[in-house]
Structure 1
Amino acid sequence: MEKVFDSVLKTIGKTPMVRLDRLKAAWKLEGTLLAKLENLNPGSSKKDRIALRMIEEAESSGELEPGQPVVELTSGNTGTGLAIVCAVKGYPFIAVMSKGNSMERARMMRALGAEVILVDQAVGSPPGQVSGQDLDLVEERTQKIVQELGAFRADQFRLEGNIRAHEYGTGEEIWEQTEGCLDGFVDFVGTGGSFAGCSKALKKHNPEIRCYLLEPTSCPWLAKREVTNPNHRIQGGGYSRDLPFVDPSLVTEYLTVTDEEAIEGARALAQHEGIFGGFSTGAHVSAAARLLEGQEKGSTLVFLVCDSGLKYVSTDLYL
């Protein structure tokens, strides 16, 4: 067993990996699916990693001073990670979030000591479906708050600590846990940080590893295909916007996934493997399964369980 840690921050990362043999059998797949349980981080998501890295790098550079407020827009997961880090380190934290995201996340951030500011959705945006327009409104409010308070902006879409957290953390852990025996990595795009970081780490070890980037079927923006509907139910990504972290040279292929496929994947993962993930995790399951049924038949594919299904109990992801 590990020693007793001096704070919960020391428990971030080094998450376990599980082979999904029961799901593979149920869906009659040929190959191996490996799930890295990022939902077991203290904030129940992969975003704890980037929250810690961004804050520590800002402390080291002097951009973040003792007692200075920290502000960031969030769909809830990065905000939860920042709330944890700021609570331990003594920074006031303000999370700015669209009302289109599940309210469990706002309650969790408040419980962790954060101030949460909820922003109305754009006209015409359905509840529970956050679009790029919704995110633009959140960004506008976030910038105003940063200026008014002289706060540090923990900008997850621009700070390189986002990529480094996954390149030197998550990606290296995947390589070590699989002992290099993997063929592909599948990731739904939010900020692009986990895709870029993990892909860089894995390709550094083996350039032949294939890295698949997922977007919602209705808005394959990065794939440069037609956006038919910017609204979708896969919270935390698919915002129909350019992402500076995503280097096209890392992308083996752009894939899409529907809301229904993401829901089916999440429910199957819970029912067959006892792993309780959210929408984006379900997207990973469905896309990886589709690959094993086709061009990746017989391969070993890895994906992240991005967060916990407990953050979506107010939605119809699980009925």
Structure 2
Amino acid sequence: MKTCSSVLEAIGNTPLIELARIGKDLPGKIFAKAEFMNPSGSMKDRIALKMIEDAEKEGKLKPGSIVLEETSGNTGIGLAMVCAIKGYRFVAVMSEGNSPERRQVLQAMGARVELVPQAEGGKPGQVTGEDLALVEERARELQKELGAFWVNQFHNPGNCAAHYETTAQEIWRQMDGKIDYFLDVVGTSGTFTGIATALKEKDPNIQCWAVEPATAPVLAGKPVTNPKHVLQGSSYAKIPDLWQPRVCDGYITVTDGEAIRAARRLATEEGLLCGYTSGGNVAAALRLAGWCDPGARIVTILCDGGMRYLSTDLFK
């Protein structure tokens, strides 16, 4: 292996791991893309690098620029890493409802963290669309105040492009093109839309399914009974701007309990310490693997690592 001139060259080319133990008695086979093995610990490293480099090419960033982003933590951490290498000051605007480990990592990497109180009745660990609206409002204020470049991952096409150009291509190669299903929890929709678009271009028969919280299946057009759930950084009970329903073949929901149990099984049976959203993806994959055709190959994403959730109830 050649040396890297910076940590940015280590982004991507993450392993794709068959979950052969927790899925051993099921008809389908589950494969998980270990995105928590990116340098800063999540799939968001890919979009952080892409969106910053796009902004540089477009002349939106110059030496000494301030970069600003609203984040649940992972995109912010990826951006803090990229900005540290490129010499930009970075300001992360996030809800107080996100796990404290994320803000601690951001601060350790030199970012300024602007914490926004949750909406009335908010619960730590459960960030809602209302909470996110307050974060966005504060981000707009700071952008004007600081004259910063706002990355704006919820609307930035580079978010989808990063996964279209890298993650999807890696999955296709690693699976030798033999994929029956792809499924993923939808947050900004950059990961789902980018990967699903690329995979369907290669094989239109691949089924791409969106994973949603059982209490907030808004993409499936069903009522939101409770916008509060444990899938941090995703499913804010609203349809994201980057969402493309044309590449979605179906919807599957998971409860908080299912996500937590799957995350714990990943740790104890597969040796993979991952977060809530990874647990949600695996819970959905397990259900799909139970009723799909024998031998069907299911690919999902392990979004981030469990070390960012040690203050929560995930592993207690």
TM superposition score normalised by structure 2: 0.98
**How far, CA to CA, are the matches of 2:246 and 2:29 in structure 1?**
25
Corresponding residue SS for 1:232: coil
Matched, 1:143 2:140: yes
Match of 1:98 among 70, 77, 95: 95
**Does structure 2 retain, via aligned residues, the 8 Å contact 1:291–1:297?**
no
**How far, CA to CA, are the matches of 2:233 and 2:121 in structure 1?**
19
Corresponding residue SS for 1:267: helix
Corresponding residue SS for 1:3: coil
**Is the alpha carbon distance of 1:296 and 1:52 closer, same or farther for their aligned partners in structure 2, counting shifts above 3 Å?**
farther
Match of 2:73 among 72, 76, 94: 76
**How far, CA to CA, are the matches of 2:187 and 2:239 in structure 1?**
11
Match of 1:256 among 229, 253, 256: 253
Q: CA deviation at 1:298?
A: 3.0
Map of 1:112 onto structure 2: 109
Describe the superposition over 1:209-236 as per-residue Cα deviations: whole angstroms up to 9, x where unpaired.
0001011111111111010011111111
**Does structure 2 retain, via aligned residues, the 8 Å contact 1:47–1:81?**
yes
Q: CA deviation at 1:180?
A: 0.3
Matched, 1:176 2:173: yes
Describe the superposition over 1:246-269 as per-residue Cα deviations: whole angstroms up to 9, x where unpaired.
111111101111100100111111
Map of 2:288 onto structure 1: 291
Q: CA deviation at 1:297?
A: 4.6
Aligned residue pairs: how many? Answer: 316
**How far, CA to CA, are the matches of 1:159 and 1:296 in structure 2?**
37
Map of 1:271 onto structure 2: 268
- Which stretches in structure 1 are left out of the alignment for 5+ residues? none
**Is the alpha carbon distance of 1:314 and 1:296 closer, same or farther for their aligned partners in structure 2, counting shifts above 3 Å?**
farther
More off after superposition, 72-81 vs 15-24: 15-24
Q: How does 1:186-197 map to 2 (within 5 A)?
A: 186-197=183-194
Q: Which amino acid aligns with 1:152?
A: F
Match of 1:232 among 229, 234, 247: 229
Map of 1:59 onto structure 2: 56
Corresponding residue SS for 2:283: helix
Q: How does 1:5-24 map to 2 (within 5 A)?
A: 5-24=4-23
TM superposition score normalised by structure 1: 0.98
Question: Which portions of structure 1, spanning 4 or more consecutive aligned residues, are displaced by more than 4 angstroms?
Answer: none
**Does structure 2 retain, via aligned residues, the 8 Å contact 1:96–1:141?**
yes
Q: Which amino acid aligns with 2:21?
A: R
Q: CA deviation at 1:295?
A: 3.5
Matched, 1:314 2:311: yes
**Does structure 2 retain, via aligned residues, the 8 Å contact 1:292–1:298?**
no
Q: Which amino acid aligns with 2:5?
A: D
- Identity across the alignment (%): 50
Corresponding residue SS for 1:18: strand
Corresponding residue SS for 1:242: coil
Q: CA deviation at 1:29?
A: 1.1
**How far, CA to CA, are the matches of 1:296 and 1:191 in structure 2?**
31
Matched, 1:215 2:212: yes
**How far, CA to CA, are the matches of 2:242 and 2:33 in structure 1?**
22
Q: How well do the aligned residues superpose, as a CA RMSD in angstroms? A: 0.8
- Which stretches in structure 2 are left out of the alignment for 5+ residues? none
Corresponding residue SS for 1:271: helix
Corresponding residue SS for 1:285: helix
**Is the alpha carbon distance of 1:257 and 1:297 closer, same or farther for their aligned partners in structure 2, counting shifts above 3 Å?**
farther
**Does structure 1 retain, via aligned residues, the 8 Å contact 2:99–2:124?**
no
